[in-house]
Every structure is written in structure tokens, then in C-alpha cells.
Amino acid sequence: MNTISLKKLFYFEKTPLNLLMAFITVALLGAFAAGAVLYILHGHHAYNVTRQHPWGLLISMYVFFVVSSTGLCIISSIGHVFGIPEFQQIGKRAIAGAIITISSGFAVIALEIGHPVTMLIYNVLTPGLTSAIWWMGTLYGMYLAFICLEFFFLAIKENHTLSKFFGIGGLLVGLAAHSNLGAVFGFLVSRPSANGVFYPVYFILSAMITGCYLIFLMYGFRYKMNFPAKVEVMLVKLSKILGMLLAVLIFFEAWKILTAVYGDLPERGATIMHSIKHPNFWFGELILGMLIPFTIILVSNAKAIKATVYASITGMVGIFFMRYDLVHDTLLYPMRTLKISEYELAPTFLEYFPSFAEFAIGFGGIGISLFLYYVADKVFNLDESHSH
């Protein structure tokens, strides 16, 4: 840990990239603040969520952040929990990222849950043990505690045994928490397109992919694409892992779609067909999120790590669409199937587009992440320490 002055904290080399990142960070932080003010003034009226579409972009962004966090935690565990030597170096950076992204997620969800304080009280007093949200929330609280302690013993008061102990704890609790988040959707008997085993498993898989993308982005930015040999070796290995994970994801998605449309079960086949025809899916999820990175890794035999860093940008955009579609597609099919007023058509697939406040808060969360990462990078030495 470095003790630094405030002046030093906000000093950075004025390269175009750094200036761009600084501008984006400040703009997004401003957006978050603006969105928060709108929410405080107008409550959920500031959002475009309705009775029929009660969840929207903020739930997506919450999932986006906690997927990122769990992913970073899983990928970092390859090194310091499972002891693969090349991956030891990412430990601190990845765990710092995991703490930062989940904190951003909590900041976003605090502005979506109507009564967060009531939640803290009654989660404890009258726990709903059959609720996936209860488990997810409780386990993520524990997870945050674990990874904070892990980081403490990695970066502040170095202690290998304890950091490994909390690392294993964080990994296990994180996996449980994250699959429970998948179950929040998978348990919905009312939504045949989401109900089932797919989401809990898919969440873990896509978390690992997100973790890989984020490691590529963090290292690409850290070394400005001039990777030292040691980092390059690690990134080539990571790229192979990423390629394999993407292949599994594509396979998995293909079978999800085929089983969903096969036989055209009511409310399921049509919903999935409707969602895969949308550009959010075929362009956002498929091309940006899976095919571009996968092709680059495949064609270059995982060696083109600079290209993979760029592909990680499209990859993260794709991951965003996966999270957005997860929520929207789950709610796509209307639960009220008959019209109730003369002045409407019979209900069909629901429409939803986020409001300004939702965009501001949801994407503003990314600003929180960027800012905290900048600070963490200054205050803690996130590169591998040389004492071991």
C-alpha cells in the first residue's frame, strides 16, 4: 500500500487515452449523480418500468456488475487458489476489480430496490428461505466480506495462508451466490422461457467469460499494449481458456434455443424466437459478445493478444446485451393475455426502453467502477509483489 497525497492521487500522465478515460469516468459519475437525484425526487416514476415489465435496465446492470465480480474472482482463483504459477500475478488486480465491480453493483441496486433499509432489517428478522433473492443477497454480502479480507491479506498485510483461505471461501460463496442469481430467473415458474436449469449454470459460465474479458482490458490498459514477456505468457493462456469457454457458451446457447423452439411449447418457443430475431441478440450477444472474440482467438491460435484486448471491448458490450436480454426476454411474454380496455389492442410481446434516469444510473455505475479502479491502482500496488 502506498501513502499518497491528494495531489498525487489525481495526477496522471496526460496521454490522449488517459484523458479520454478521465473524461468518460467523470461524465459517467456525473450521470450517476443526476440519475440518483431524479430517483430521489420521483422514485420509480423516474424509470420506465411498469406493472407488466417491473424489472428493467437497473436489474440488468446489477447483474452485469456482479457477473463481472464473480468472473474476476473465479479467474483470479486459477492462480492463487489452484496454484497455477502464471496466473499468480493477476490475483491482486483481479480481486481489487471484483470488490470494485460488486460495490458498483450494490450502488446501482440500492437505487432500484424500493426500501433498501427495510431489506437490511427484514432479511435478518423474517428471512424468506425459499427466495432466491434472499440467498443471492445474503451470499453476496458474505462474498464481499470474504474478498475484502482476501484483498487485505494479498495487498495490505501480506499473508499467503490467510489470503488463500479467504480466497477459497470467496470463491465458493461467490459461486453459490452467483448461481442463485441465475436461479432468481430460473425459479420463475410463471416464465417458461426462463424457468429451468439454464440460467444458474449459464451465469457461472458467462461470469468466467466476463472475467477473462476484464482481465484483458485491465492488462491492456495497464501495459498500454506493450506486455512484458511474463504477462504475455499469462494472457496467451488466458486467451485459450477464453476460447474454450466461448465455444462452450455458443454450444450451450445453441441447445437452449433448439430445445426452446422444438415443439413450440406455449409461451416458450415463441418468446425465444422473438428474442433471437432482435438485433440485441444476434448482433449484440452473438456477434459482439461471442463471435468476434471467438474468431480472433481461433484464427490466431490464441496468440493475437492485442487483438483480443480490442475484442474484449466488443465482448463486454456483448456481455451487456446478454444481461439486458436476460431481464427483458424473461419478461417479454405478457402475463395479462386479454385486453382490458377498449382503447388497446390484444396484448402481445411487451416493449420496454429504459428512461434517462435508468441509463444514467446504470451506466453511471461503470463510472463508479472506473473511478474506484483508478484510485485502487494508485493506492495499492496491484502488480505482483516481488516478495514471493
Partner 1 sequence: MARYGMALNYKNCINCRACETACKEENGVLLGKDNYRIWVGVKEAEGLFPNISIASQTYHPSQCQHCSNAPCQLVCPTNATYYSKDGIVKVDPVKCILCTYCINACPYDARYVDQRTITVDKCTFCSDTRLANGETTTACQATCPTKVRVFGDLDDPTSEISQLLAKKEYRRVKEHLGTEPKLFYIL
Q: Answer for the pair 146, 163: CB distance below 8 angstroms, yes or no.
A: no
> Closest separation between CB of residue 9 and partner 1, Å?
37
Give min distance, CB of 373 to partner 1, in A.
29
Ramachandran assignment for 196, one of left (phi > 0), alpha (psi -120 to 50 degrees), beta (any other): left
> Comparing C-alpha atoms, which of 271, 248, 249, 250 is closest to residue 261?
271
Residue 229 or residue 338: which is nearer to partner 1 going by CB? 338
Give contact residues for partner 1 (rule: CB under 8 A).
43-44, 49-52, 54-55, 113-116, 118-119, 122-123, 125-128, 130-134, 137, 184, 187-191, 330-331, 334-340, 346
Through-space distance between the first and last CA atoms of the chain, rounded to whole angstroms = 16
239 touches 305 (CB < 8 A) = yes
Closer residue to partner 1 in complex, CB, 118/159: 118
Smallest distance, partner 1 to C-beta of residue 270, A? 16
| Nearer Cβ to partner 1 (336/388) | 336
Query: How far is residue 330 from each of residues 83, 121, 182, measured CA to CA in Å?
Result: 39, 29, 12
Cα distance between residue 349 and residue 335, in whole Å: 10
Tell me which residue has cell 491460435.
301
> Would you say 112 and 364 are in contact if contact means Cβ atoms under 8 Å apart?
no
Q: Rounded CA gap, 34 and 53, in Å?
A: 24
What is the dihedral angle through the alpha carbons of 338, 343, 345, 349, rounded to the nearest 10 degrees?
-80
Task: Report the candidate in 147, 305, 280 with the shortest Cα–Cα distance to residue 225.
Answer: 305
Nearer to partner 1, 251 or 353 (CB): 353
For partner 1, the closer of residues 11 and 122 by Cβ is: 122
* Rounded Cα distance, 87 and 31, in Å: 36
Return the number of the residue (97 or 186) whose C-beta is nearest partner 1. Answer: 186
With CA atoms as reference, report the closest residue to 380 among 179, 91, 133: 91
Q: Which three cell numbers stand for residue 32?
A: 450517476
Q: Which three cell numbers stand for residue 139?
A: 451470499
Shortest CB 376 distance to partner 1, Å: 30
Q: In the complex with partner 1, which residue's Cβ is closer, 21 or 133? A: 133
Shortest Å distance, C-beta 118 to partner 1? 5
Closer of 195 and 381 to partner 1 (Cβ)? 195
Assess contact for 176 and 146: CB atoms under 8 A. no
Amino acid at 72: L
Q: Please, which residue, 88 or 123, has the CB nearer to partner 1?
A: 123
